[in-house]
Structure formats: structure tokens, C-alpha cells
Amino acid sequence: MGGKYSKMDPMDVEVPDIKTLLDRDPYLKPYEKEIRRRYAVFKDCLDNIDANGGGLDNYTRAYEYYGMHIQPDNSIVCREWAPNAKGFFLTGKFNHWNRDSHPFVKLDYGKWELVVPPNELGEPAINHLDEVKLVVVNQNNQKEDRLSPYAPYVVEPKKEEGLTYKQLFYNPPKEQRYTFHFKSPPRPKSLRIYECHVGIATQELGVGNYDNFTNNIIPRIVKQGYNAIQVMAIMEHAYYASFGYQVTSFFAASSRYGTPEELKRMVDVAHQNGLTVLLDIVHSHASKNVLDGLNMFDGSDACFFHSGSRGTHSLWDSRLFDYSQFEVSKFLLSNIRWWMEEYQFDGFRFDGCTSVLYHSRGIGQGFSGHYDEYFGLNVDTDGLVYLMLANYIVHKFNPAGITIAEDVSGMPGTCRPVDEGGLGFDYRLAMAIPDKWIELLKKYKDDDWNMGNIVHTLTNRRWMEANIAYAESHDQALVGDKTIAFWLMDKEMYTHMSVVSPPSAIIDRGIALHKMIRFITHALGGEAWLNFIGNEFGHPEWLDFPREGNNSSYHYARRQWNLVDDELLKYKWLNQWDAAMNKTENKYGWLASAPAYVSLKHEDDKIIVFERAGCLFVFNFHPTKSFTDYRVGIQGGGVYKIILNSDEEQFGGFKHLDTAVLIHSQEGDYSGRSHSVQLYLPSRTCMCIANIETLN
């Protein structure tokens, strides 16, 4: 967008609150000039938008200008941006698929326009759900069919119709348009996210739909105590097995799950039930698909993307956006605005931020944490400033909006406001945590787990940059990997998960550790919590979408709700524990509180003790040893009570703990705390205790 060519001296740039950023982390001081330079580029982009884009509000509503739009006189105005095209036509059922009768007129700056007049009855010449195609004349004077980048509705063809997705003119009559009835709930102080996928949310061997999710899954999520959903794979993707990460139509809600109106109802009902609704948005790359997607849209290698090798992600085999282009930035920022305005999404998880931030795309790069890695020449200024702009517009048009970064590099300032010189995200995913749990389960015996290393991984985050903690997400559920439940219990999950089956040491261990791993991550690992659909009850097996390699089977592309609903199966215990964690957090609010104070990491006893939000959390990871009268430190005197413990019968425990017994603190410094309490700690259990004055 031209901002990177600013002649301004970075040290003369006024960053409104950079002092706050530098005071918080003095190690950033040597990089102040670079931080100011980035902010200067960001400001140049905003100035350019004001000068040449009609202001930010107009600029981020490009979907009202481009695409196909009914006018008051029932004419249809069609506009596209295709700077390298030599000609442009519209064809479809309305003109009997004549590829020459409706040419576009070329405007300035690579824009094309066509006005389709009303028919002889004064009605729109193109009916609702009629198929249309764009015909692009490339540099070799060849005509090629394309879908509009701004198409709001594209559908998968029937088998006899070929493979190419079809663009349907979307103009439903007023009585068919969904009207939102409910406002978004207030932004949660403690964010508890249920990461989900509409297509796999069914138990049937097929693709789930928006209505199934609305009617059957939202009640489950609410019952579990979550206050937000993060919906994956909504942006249309021709290849279902890409999990939604090879987007072909950025403005189209995936039609494989239903209609746009049904998605609107899903979001509205979620809001009615107090759920904040987040969209998994993919702006880091786009599908290479030419006939269905953006690739080669105007007949050239460039258009929306960098040309040559810079425009291709070598691992993902996809195209990379040229964020510096005025129309590309407009397209992507308007895409964010579209999902906010048209579908009322409350925020976004930005996928693949590492690829956006670095010229290396993060490929083969292990980030050591040295600040030179974050402020050197490998940083892609265009991509970085795009993310600043994206966060800026989300929070400008929805101050309560939530943005989440998926970034493995740990760039400083990612979750600090743009006005501080940060990127502006509200949260980043704590991606090292699930990796640590898989490493422990895969490589180490229980006796060899290092308590200090676990605590370090769970607490190693930047001060006042909020993290979303999770023990596993969709990444760990995919075929080729294993969920935590499967790592723990795969040998006997098919034979010993009945409550009437013979006792099993493997299942007992698995259920105990599944609860402990999730609870310590929930309470210690961040400022928000995330769970992937089904993992709350230890869903067995992996997730594998229908593809050629599995004979197009849906067997693993679903959630087996019958397992958790069956009172004779042990999955119910993990499900009840998950709900209890969330509901206890809802009362005490540890996610919204300051990071925990860890008072004990005992390697021989395998004990971890910490305090957060006025609660004391105690974990005994020892595989065989239980401890009586185990003294742990606590800040503040009084009488305490166990408010949650994994050994209760309803959670598959052995009822060794009497939760009715009151725990009296003893005055005197212990483990650096003002008081202490003595507790019975059964092997492989965890508990949370609180002062009885807070129980009501």
C-alpha cells in the first residue's frame, strides 16, 4: 500500500503509548527504532486509505462495491478487480450461457464494470440461485471461466456436473432472509473456548449441517460451561479434507453445511445462549485451485498474490497474498468486516500468523527467543502491518471484538495494542503446551516426568500478553497424531471403557491423567482455555476426513456423541470433569486473574502446588505414592474446603477424599507463604481448595 516507502525518520514517529511497551520490557529498548518504523508504515497505510480509499469505513466495505448487486431499479451492477485481464464477460442461465453477450467495461486501476438491465417485466434479469460465471480473457486472448472473489454463495456440483464449484446469484426474497434477534453477549472476562467444526459435529456418516449444530450441539456446549465457540472451516473450501485451510471463496459461507441464512441462525442462537462466536479466519494463504479459487483470477500469476516463488508456500502448496497491494488489503480487510457485519461474528482466530510475519514463512526455522529474530530482516513488514491493520479494524468497528493469533514464534508485542507499537491481538495460542504433553506421553515414563519443566512450560509467557492455554486442539486430533486420551488409553479403549468391564490399570491411569493434564493446563497455563470438540470426554481415535486414501470414508469425520451419552460408559466421567472445571472457573475467575504463584515443585514426590484467584491448586502426579498430612503453603489464614477434586466418584475417582471436612490453616511462613494447610493427596489426583468465606 506504499507505506513501507515512507521517508520519515522512525525516531520522529509518534507512537502514542510506546513508553508503556518499553517500560514493561526494557529488553525492547534497542529495537525502539524498528518498532517506530513499523508503526510509521501502519500510519502511512491508514493515511493512504483516507486519501485514496474513501476512509476506513468505506475501504472495508469493498463487498458493497465489488461482486453482483441489485439496484433500486432492479438492474444488477457487477464489478471486479482484474488488472491483468484483457477482457471480461458475464455468462449464465440468464443469457443462455452466451460467453460474449455481456461484456464488462474496463475502468481505472484494473476495475471492470457491467450493468445488467432488468428484464421486460422490470424484474431482475438474474433470478435468485441462478448459476453465473465470469469469463476472463487472459494475456493470450484465451477465455477462462472464473468465480467472483466476492461471491457470497458457491455450491459443490452434483457428480454429473463435473468438479468445479458453481457460483449462484444470491438474492433471496425478503421473507427468506434471516433477521438477527439477539445481540452479542458481553465480552467474557474469562474466555472458555469450544473449538468446533460444523461438518464433524454429527454422529452420522456424513457432513453435519448448521441446523444440527444449532439444535443439538450448542446446548451441549452451554451445558459444559463454555462461553465462546471458535468455528472452523466456515470459509468455503472446495477440498473438504483440507479442514478449511485451503480457502477457495473468502466471502462464501460453506454451502456443504447449509445456506447463509442457516449460518446466521446458528450465530444468533449461540448469542441467545450467551456464547461469543469466533471465526477461524484464513488470511495467511489461499488455495492454489484456479477454477474454484483466487489463483490466476485475472489470467496472471500475480493479481492477489506475489508472483514467482515468493507467492507460493512450499509446504502448504498454496498461494501467498501480496499484502502491500491496495486492492489486496482492501479485499482482506473487507473480508473481516463482512463476517462481522453480515454474520455477526464477534472475533477471529487468525490462522498461520508465523507465515504472514516472516519471509521464511517459519519453514525450517526454530525460534530461540532472541529478539534479533523478531526485529531483523526476516520479518515481512507488509505481512506484519497487515495484521496490525486487521486488528485495528476489528477493534474499531467492534470494541468488544476478540482477536487470536496462531503464531509459533512468540514475537514480542503480539498481544499488545497497536498504539503501544504491538500487533494488536487480544490473545495468542500457547502452542508449546500441547507439544509438551505429547512429548511427555510419547517419550517418558510417569516416574520421569519433571515437575519443574511442566511448570516452566505452563508459565513461560510474556507479562501482560494474554495466552490461550490448551492441552490439545484440532492439530493433535488429526490422523497421523493421537489425542491425549488415545496416547493414554488406546490399548484398551475398545474393551475396558464400560463401567461394568473388569478393572484396568491402563484405563484408571488414563482417566486420572486426562483429568490432571487438562486441569493444570486450565488453571496454570494462560488467560483463556480452549478445548476441541469431543476432547472433553476423551473422544477415541483420530480425525480423518473422507479422501482417496481412506476410500472417502466418513467413519472418522464425525463425533460419537453416543459414547458420552451412554451411562454405562466411562466417557461420562471425563465429560463431567470438564464441565466442573469450567463452572468452578466461572465462579472464581482464575483465567481473568493475574498469573499463578507457584509455591512447590517437588520432583521426588511429583507434587505441584500453586495459587491463583484466591484458590489453592494441588497436583499429585506420582504414579504410586499417596501422602497423608502433606503440608503446603497458602497465603492468608482461615478455614478452607475442597471445592473440586478429581477423585470424586462422578469423575471416575475412588472417593478417597472427604470433601465435607473443613481444612484449618496454620499461621507461619511455609514455602514462602504466610500460612500452611495439611492435605491428604492420593496418587494421581488433583484438587482445588478455597476459603469457605468465598463459597456462597
Would you list the DSSP string of 363-407? TT------GGGTSSTTB-HHHHHHHHHHHHHHHHH-TT-EEEE--
Q: Model confidence at 161, in pLDDT bands (50, 70, 90)? A: confident
Decide: helix, strand or coil at residue 659: coil
The answer on pLDDT for 49 being more than 80 is yes
User: 278 with 346: CB under 8 angstroms?
Assistant: yes
Match 501467498 to its residue by C-alpha cell.
Answer: 320
Distances, alpha carbon 428 to alpha carbons 72, 378, 407, 529, in Å? 45, 21, 7, 11
Averaged over 627-646, what is the pLDDT? 97
Which class does domain 62-176 fall in? mainly beta
Distance CA 357, CA 384 (A): 5
Average pLDDT, the chain: 96
- Give the tens place of pLDDT for each residue, 227-259: 999 999 999 999 999 999 999 999 999 999 999
CATH H-level superfamily of 597-694: Golgi alpha-mannosidase II (2.60.40.1180)
Percent of the chain exceeding pLDDT 70 equals: 99
The answer on pLDDT for 523 being more than 60 is yes
Distance CA 409, CA 389 (A): 20
- Give the tens place of pLDDT for each residue, 178-203: 999 999 999 999 999 999 999 999 99
The answer on pLDDT for 696 being more than 80 is no
Q: Classify the phi-psi angles of 158: left when phi > 0, otherwise alpha if psi is within -120 to 50, otherwise beta.
A: beta
The answer on pLDDT for 695 being more than 70 is yes
The answer on pLDDT for 5 being more than 60 is no
Distance CA 206, CA 186 (A): 35
The kind and range of the H/E element at 219 are: helix 218-223
Q: At what angle do helices 326-342 and 32-52 cross, to 10 degrees?
A: 80
Q: Model confidence at 7, in pLDDT bands (50, 70, 90)? A: low
User: 486 with 472: CB under 8 angstroms?
Assistant: no
User: Which entry of 262, 406, 407, 578 is annotated as an active-site residue?
Assistant: 406
Q: Model confidence at 12, in pLDDT bands (50, 70, 90)? A: confident
Distance CA 111, CA 94 (A): 23
pLDDT of residue 542: 84
Q: Which residue has the higher pLDDT, 8 or 263?
A: 263
Instruction: Name, in order, each residue with C-beta under 8 angstroms of 178's C-beta and a sequence gap of 6 or more.
Output: 261, 262, 264, 265, 268
Numbered ranges of CATH 2.60.40.1180 in the chain = 597-694
Catalytic residue list contains 648: no
Distance CA 244, CA 632 (A): 47
Percent of the chain exceeding pLDDT 90 equals: 93
Decide: helix, strand or coil at residue 622: coil
Q: Model confidence at 3, in pLDDT bands (50, 70, 90)? A: very low
User: Which entry of 44, 80, 351, 420 is annotated as an active-site residue?
Assistant: 351
User: 486 with 494: CB under 8 angstroms?
Assistant: no
Instruction: Name, in order, each residue with C-beta under 8 angstroms of 518's C-beta and a sequence gap of 6 or more.
Output: 471, 484, 531, 577, 578, 581
Q: How does strand 67-70 pair with strand 105-106?
A: unpaired
pLDDT of residue 501: 94
Q: Model confidence at 11, in pLDDT bands (50, 70, 90)? A: confident
Query: CA torsion 410→346→305→131, rounded to 10°?
Result: 150
Distance CA 471, CA 522 (A): 8
Catalytic residue list contains 351: yes
Averaged over 56-73, what is the pLDDT? 98
Numbered ranges of CATH 2.60.40.10 in the chain = 62-176
pLDDT of residue 94: 97
Q: Work out the burial of residue 60: count CB atoms within 10 Å of its CB; fewer than 13 is exposed, 13-18 middle, 19 or more buried.
A: buried
The residue ranges of DSSP E strands in 533-684, in sequence order, are 597-602, 607-612, 615-620, 627-634, 639-645, 663-664, 666-670, 673-681
Look at the chain and count its residues.
696
pLDDT of residue 478: 78
Q: Work out the burial of residue 36: count CB atoms within 10 Å of its CB; fewer than 13 is exposed, 13-18 middle, 19 or more buried.
A: buried
685: Cα separation from own chain's centroid: 31
